Structure 1
């Protein structure tokens, strides 16, 4: 089995903190999710996560005007410059301080960063105006540092010509700066607010400035002379200055402004409030257009796309991300992650959906291809602890601490059956018979296993025998055996469909945490509290092998740990284990930052995946930094917000009696992997973690992965080779560069008659790439017959080779099959819709047929379609082609 799984996507969380960004074309939304960046394509309804990860949560994002360079900065001021189309990290940089505002100039030559009360302007590390759009990379070069504010800078806005920029600050002022020294210009301070200024913007003509403060005051500034000056006197340049022309106020009782955005072209001002309300006003009249409540908590950030049609809102308290089209008053995107810890996940049998369930009582269904949440179930009133699919895949069973087991219909999206026990129990584990007739559940309150009939909802039986809480249940895939694990250090094998229900106990050395069945039903994997992973034969009731996994799962220190990560191995264990689809490997995770992949036969650790490097979580560091240790303990555990000026910042939300020592302490989330799951095809697996649902895949398409490159292989050389009609060489050169547009250009230029010859001589190292490319083209391009001819040539010329190397080409062959099936279905539907029209045309006389065709399709279309084929006849006859031969 292949082990080179790569990070593919992050689901389960859509927004955590920081600012939202629209791409310049307005079709994609960038959202910071912890220490990663997710991109939501609002037109194609897809999402993906960029592969890089910061060491802290992301504080600010900025995108250059061309949309190809992304600058992301974390809470420590460490920045990563990324090429967005290729998803490649170009440069790492540190700003030596926390960034509170970040913005690129419209010209793309500079960007400004607010660091504390200073503003730094830097040259963009690439020149966007280079011919052919190539990037000329240079390290970060600082242009100027601007000082003058007395508190943190909150926002930065550039003028349209990039000569000036506005900053707003917590010191109750906004300031106007020039990028370069301007003759006669002096940096100006706009003072008049009574609370912190959240934003300042230029109007489209740059004759007006709007500033808004936290208390809901909107001030309109104009460049005017003193109002008391005589009207007939000549205007004195020295008397001209920015003055308040209008004052407006948002009347929101007991709520303050938390974010605002202004769109100069449409003059729309969007403001978000701490009550979860947002309003849209048109300036300068300050006429209200809309008022809508979208959350019960603060709206943290609002962004407007380039056309001013879509508004994006982020609320970190519940992890909400919304895109609102204000003209039609409809949602373009409405997503929300779990706002509590994820407990369990499950792949649907067809592998297209993933179920997540959490302590917030919600069950979410995620689409693997699009990355969006399809539906959310909220019937459970307490944390959901386990879930499992019936074998056919349309029925999902979940158990909860509220004492109920619910069955969900995933076609109609409804709860059609609820099972309960005679006494109130908190269920923690579930197993479903493969036939879907019986469902079993185990509880931490009772030592019995409860069995219900799915058809009637009746409690059929209670299996007793364990002397401790039942922690894990599993049905064998063939349906003949039920296995249960308990804290009484035993695993019991039950034959519940026999006349006499007997159980075979297997004795272990520690409390059982999780059990998994191998797909062939002959072996089980058991994880225990002492860090052991053991494999047992079901038929012989004997242990076959075992792995001491304590060293593998250990790693990562908490701030309060007295011992190093290497010495805390005795306290770590796997809490979840799953077999791969072919049964050769097991995947295990627990209260650690590692996911381990083991080979079952040899017991060897095949690969170790690091879930997160985010230092904002406990358990991600290997070595503690002595500089962060103070007399009062680790600095990260001390509450430093008690002296803040804002009431919301210094409010203590800790539980009574939870403080130790003199200073107030605060808690941080800990990195954990509560559950893992393999996809049914074995080509991917997912893991529920503190940061969200991580998907690792073998089918990750590399954006740029050149090999066999040398100095002679360039786009110009490739096109020159194509012009010389050396089609095979040109195609190989295009694949070496791996430029999709270049590959497509060469691919479409190859004559139909030469396709079999090119495919026959294609080196086998490029066959996988060519197969994948043709499958994508069959889905996207309109050249139906041309693509089918390529597929036919590939399968006929290299079919035996593909059969021999099927293991490495599963994704490509699956894509081709999917494309061919789609084309077949569309052609069948097209033929069915037009069958009577075709029969009618065929029944007409020849002369009528020509006229009918010309009426149906148009002479111009036919001439355009057959332009090349008839050109020679036109030259020979010296006449003009008038119709169909």
Structure 2
């Protein structure tokens, strides 16, 4: 099995904190998710998460005007300069102070950051050349008496205005201007959260947290005793110390600014949290603490509309360059919204789980992923696009397990509220609810391969309940365990049910036989999870002492044990008294699953690592670290002695009481609560994996972690696996053979070289009439590789008929060979099924659209015939012309 899995996407978390940013073309929005950045393509309906990671949670991001450079700054002021289109990190820098806002100048030559009570302007490094010292400080600006909150550049990039907690705003020039002193804008009674220039730079707007908007313009008259002279606006020197051109107009710098108007939002019981301005259309967009946002047209302060879009405060707001789409982020709910204000409709509305994601399950075709959270919601995510397309909120407590039926059209979920629910994935409704005679909490779930029987294990009565899916009636109650049932799994053949429990035993039940007696298999410690091998001949159980125990089904005894405690150990909590190397006693696996071919098993648990083991050899194949975020507990190996205080580690001190907003200072958590809310005893989230699952195609796996739903897939770009190479086998000879018309030889040579671009070129160059002949003469040793390539090609190519001809030819000519090796070819077959089902859904959708269009045209023809009273022949001719 290949192990070159690489991080692909982060789902389940769409926004955490910081600011959201639109790309220069306005088609994508960037959102910070923990210590990563996700990009949501609003036109193509896809999302991707950039591969780089900050050291801690991101505080703010900024994108250059050309869309080349992305500046990502974490809570401690450590920044990464990233090439946005490639997703690679170019440079690192530490600003030595927390940064609340960063902004590139419109010409892209500089960027400004807040630095406590100061503002620093840096020269933008090159995105092409690699420099030794890329960051050059242009100038540091002072004058504020409180921390700077925001920065706004003018359109000409010669000025910028800053706002601060000292309830003032200040105007600065990028380069020194003779006789210029920074202008101060006062008069507000609360923190000035934002300030903006108008499109012609003749007006400045300042917005404060108490809901006041001041309009600043040039004073029309001055007193005679005033030391400033009005002629300065016209006759002031325009030279600068940096040698700028004398012809530069510095009207903004020499203007005597005064309050031209005061306006108020008049939103009772709320505060203004964030604001943005679109200069071209003079639209002011404001987000409030009650989840309401509003649009006003400046300078007349004409209200366009206000709308409530969230139950919590809106943390960030952004507008795209055309001014049509607005993006809002709500940090407490993890919600991201993109709103088209002209049509008053959603472009994007996504929300992750409110707290931890407990479990996940892949659909049979690998296209969809179901997740269950501590908030009692079940969500369905598209593995390709990364978007959630349906949410089921019927449960009233945390979800403990979710499972798909093998047909893929029914989803089952078990919850701590004492119910097991079945959801119809065609009509998206809860069509069946299974309950027990006495209220219990269900901790595990298993579905029969036929989809007719569902089982759930309880935490309270230590029993396993069986229901019929068709009737909803309770079929049987399996008793025997003396502790909570931690895991359930049906064999692929469906004739046996395996259960694991905290009573240190694993039991195998013949659920469809007459006898319910079972002989327990004793394991070394409390069992935490269980999984069947795809062939049904082996079962694996993980235990609390960090071991993986493999049990043979025919013999009913333990065949091998893998000691995994040392592999999963690592990471030290801030309150641990032992080092990470000596803290392996608390590390164990709580979720395991076999790969599609059964050769390997993947396991994750109370650690920052996910481990893949080879089942036959019993050795570790590869270890993945799910997060490097130091804001999470358990990610760092060594503690920093410089952060130790008399009260303990400085990171372990709760600083929520120092928040500026009253609602952020209030403690509404339950005393002593460990899960579901951030309590006093545990307010730093721990890096751990709640569930891991392999896709049925074998090409990807997913982990439900503290950060969200992490998806890893095979990195084909890093794979080079040539076969039977020779000196004359080069890309040039392959292209020459292809030009000579020998398609079979060229295709085999490309397969031997194992270069994906060459394989694709030779594959697509084969004439459709020769496909069957080429497939028939293809050596059988290359058939698995060709099938895997076709499955990959189907997902990314518009050649529907061409790919179908290849699939039919390969299956017809090499069907017997593939049937003999169906076990090892299972992943390739599932990949083909996924692509073919995608074809089917696309064709079905297109057909329905065409039928609707034809029905509409015919209906219009009949309507016109009735209105005009003409005969049928003339009407048909008229319709043909109009069409």
TM-score bracket for the superposition, by shorter chain length: 0.7 to 0.9
Query: Counterparts of 1:109 and 1:480 in 2: how far apart (Å)?
Result: 69
* Structure 2 residue 228 is matched with structure 1 residue 213: no
Query: Counterparts of 1:790 and 1:78 in 2: how far apart (Å)?
Result: 56
> Contact (CA 8 Å) 1:639, 1:666: kept in 2 or not?
no
* Structure 2 residue 197 is matched with structure 1 residue 183: no
Q: Could you give the per-residue CA deviations for residues 658-689 of structure 1, whole angstroms, max 9, x where no partner exists?
A: 99xxxx87621111111000000111100000
Q: Could you give the per-residue CA deviations for residues 813-868 of structure 1, whole angstroms, max 9, x where no partner exists?
A: 213345443667899999x999x9xxxxxxxxxxxxxxxxxxx99xxxxxxxxxxx
> Contact (CA 8 Å) 1:440, 1:449: kept in 2 or not?
yes
Query: Counterparts of 1:803 and 1:20 in 2: how far apart (Å)?
Result: 52
> Contact (CA 8 Å) 1:638, 1:666: kept in 2 or not?
no
Equivalent residue in structure 2 for 1:164, among 156, 159, 162 = 159
* Structure 2 residue 410 is matched with structure 1 residue 395: yes
For the residue of structure 1 that corresponds to 2:65, the secondary structure is coil
Q: Could you give the per-residue CA deviations for residues 514-547 of structure 1, whole angstroms, max 9, x where no partner exists?
A: 1100000000001111211110001111111001
For the residue of structure 1 that corresponds to 2:196, the secondary structure is strand
Which residue number corresponds to residue 25 of structure 1? 25
Which residue number corresponds to residue 477 of structure 1? 492
Query: Counterparts of 1:464 and 1:43 in 2: how far apart (Å)?
Result: 54
Equivalent residue in structure 1 for 2:287, among 272, 283, 301 = 272
Equivalent residue in structure 2 for 1:679, among 676, 679, 695 = 695
The 1:390/1:706 distance shift into structure 2, 3 A limit, reads closer
Which residue number corresponds to residue 543 of structure 2? 528
The 1:307/1:792 distance shift into structure 2, 3 A limit, reads farther
RMSD: 3.3
> Contact (CA 8 Å) 1:493, 1:503: kept in 2 or not?
yes
> Contact (CA 8 Å) 1:99, 1:115: kept in 2 or not?
yes
Equivalent residue in structure 2 for 1:815, among 771, 785, 792 = 792
Tell me how far 1:122 sits from its aligned partner: 0.7
> Contact (CA 8 Å) 1:200, 1:209: kept in 2 or not?
yes
The 1:88/1:416 distance shift into structure 2, 3 A limit, reads same
* Structure 2 residue 670 is matched with structure 1 residue 691: no
> Contact (CA 8 Å) 2:672, 2:681: kept in 1 or not?
no
Tell me how far 1:766 sits from its aligned partner: 5.8
> Contact (CA 8 Å) 1:35, 1:54: kept in 2 or not?
yes
- Give the stretch that moved more between structures: 821-830 or 237-246: 821-830
Which residues of 2 match residues 540-689 of structure 1 at below 5 A? 540-642=555-657, 646-653=661-668, 655-656=670-671, 667-689=683-705
For the residue of structure 2 that corresponds to 1:412, the secondary structure is coil
> Contact (CA 8 Å) 2:735, 2:746: kept in 1 or not?
no
Which residue number corresponds to residue 302 of structure 1? 317
For the residue of structure 1 that corresponds to 2:101, the secondary structure is strand
Query: Counterparts of 1:38 and 1:667 in 2: how far apart (Å)?
Result: 25
Which residue number corresponds to residue 100 of structure 1? 100
Query: Counterparts of 1:809 and 1:565 in 2: how far apart (Å)?
Result: 46
Equivalent residue in structure 2 for 1:153, among 145, 148, 154 = 148
The 1:303/1:790 distance shift into structure 2, 3 A limit, reads farther
Which residue number corresponds to residue 7 of structure 1? 7
The 1:155/1:827 distance shift into structure 2, 3 A limit, reads closer
Q: Could you give the per-residue CA deviations for residues 584-628 of structure 1, whole angstroms, max 9, x where no partner exists?
A: 000001111000100000110111100111011111111111111
Which residue number corresponds to residue 118 of structure 1? 118
Tell me how far 1:754 sits from its aligned partner: 10
Which residue number corresponds to residue 376 of structure 1? 391
- Give the stretch that moved more between structures: 507-516 or 763-772: 763-772
Which residues of 2 match residues 316-395 of structure 1 at below 5 A? 316-395=331-410
Q: Could you give the per-residue CA deviations for residues 242-278 of structure 1, whole angstroms, max 9, x where no partner exists?
A: 1000000010111000000000000000000000000
Tell me how far 1:471 sits from its aligned partner: 1.3
Query: Counterparts of 1:644 and 1:405 in 2: how far apart (Å)?
Result: 41
Query: Counterparts of 1:672 and 1:446 in 2: how far apart (Å)?
Result: 28
For the residue of structure 2 that corresponds to 1:804, the secondary structure is helix
> Contact (CA 8 Å) 1:759, 1:793: kept in 2 or not?
no
Tell me how far 1:804 sits from its aligned partner: 3.0
Which residue number corresponds to residue 194 of structure 1? 189
Equivalent residue in structure 1 for 2:758, among 761, 770, 773 = 770
Which residue number corresponds to residue 168 of structure 2? 173
Tell me how far 1:810 sits from its aligned partner: 5.8
The 1:658/1:471 distance shift into structure 2, 3 A limit, reads closer
Equivalent residue in structure 2 for 1:222, among 217, 222, 237 = 217
Which residue number corresponds to residue 723 of structure 1? none
Please, what TM-score do these two structures have when normalized by structure 1? Answer: 0.83
The 1:697/1:800 distance shift into structure 2, 3 A limit, reads farther
Which residue number corresponds to residue 715 of structure 1? none
> Contact (CA 8 Å) 1:472, 1:513: kept in 2 or not?
yes
> Contact (CA 8 Å) 2:4, 2:715: kept in 1 or not?
no
* Structure 2 residue 294 is matched with structure 1 residue 289: no
> Contact (CA 8 Å) 2:16, 2:34: kept in 1 or not?
yes
Tell me how far 1:792 sits from its aligned partner: 8.2
Tell me how far 1:730 sits from its aligned partner: 12
The 1:416/1:164 distance shift into structure 2, 3 A limit, reads same
For the residue of structure 2 that corresponds to 1:56, the secondary structure is coil
Query: Counterparts of 1:534 and 1:352 in 2: how far apart (Å)?
Result: 31
The 1:91/1:806 distance shift into structure 2, 3 A limit, reads farther
> Contact (CA 8 Å) 1:173, 1:189: kept in 2 or not?
yes
For the residue of structure 2 that corresponds to 1:331, the secondary structure is strand
Q: Could you give the per-residue CA deviations for residues 780-827 of structure 1, whole angstroms, max 9, x where no partner exists?
A: xxxxxxx56478889977997785356666653213345443667899
For the residue of structure 1 that corresponds to 2:582, the secondary structure is helix
> Contact (CA 8 Å) 1:100, 1:152: kept in 2 or not?
no
Tell me how far 1:186 sits from its aligned partner: 2.1
The 1:434/1:568 distance shift into structure 2, 3 A limit, reads same
> Contact (CA 8 Å) 2:602, 2:613: kept in 1 or not?
yes
The 1:270/1:466 distance shift into structure 2, 3 A limit, reads same
Tell me how far 1:729 sits from its aligned partner: 4.9
Query: Counterparts of 1:38 and 1:422 in 2: how far apart (Å)?
Result: 46
The 1:461/1:152 distance shift into structure 2, 3 A limit, reads same
Tell me how far 1:226 sits from its aligned partner: 4.3
For the residue of structure 2 that corresponds to 1:478, the secondary structure is coil
Query: Counterparts of 2:515 and 2:107 in 1: how far apart (Å)?
Result: 81
Unpaired segments of 5 or more residues in structure 1? 128-133, 709-726, 734-749, 776-786, 837-855, 858-885
Which residues of 2 match residues 458-477 of structure 1 at below 5 A? 458-477=473-492
Please, what TM-score do these two structures have when normalized by structure 2? Answer: 0.83
> Contact (CA 8 Å) 1:312, 1:323: kept in 2 or not?
yes
Which residue number corresponds to residue 242 of structure 2? none
Q: Could you give the per-residue CA deviations for residues 409-430 of structure 1, whole angstroms, max 9, x where no partner exists?
A: 1111111111111111111111
The 1:27/1:402 distance shift into structure 2, 3 A limit, reads same
Tell me how far 1:643 sits from its aligned partner: 5.1
Which residue number corresponds to residue 804 of structure 1? 781
Tell me how far 1:497 sits from its aligned partner: 0.7
> Contact (CA 8 Å) 1:774, 1:790: kept in 2 or not?
no
The 1:155/1:400 distance shift into structure 2, 3 A limit, reads same
Query: Counterparts of 2:720 and 2:752 in 1: how far apart (Å)?
Result: 16
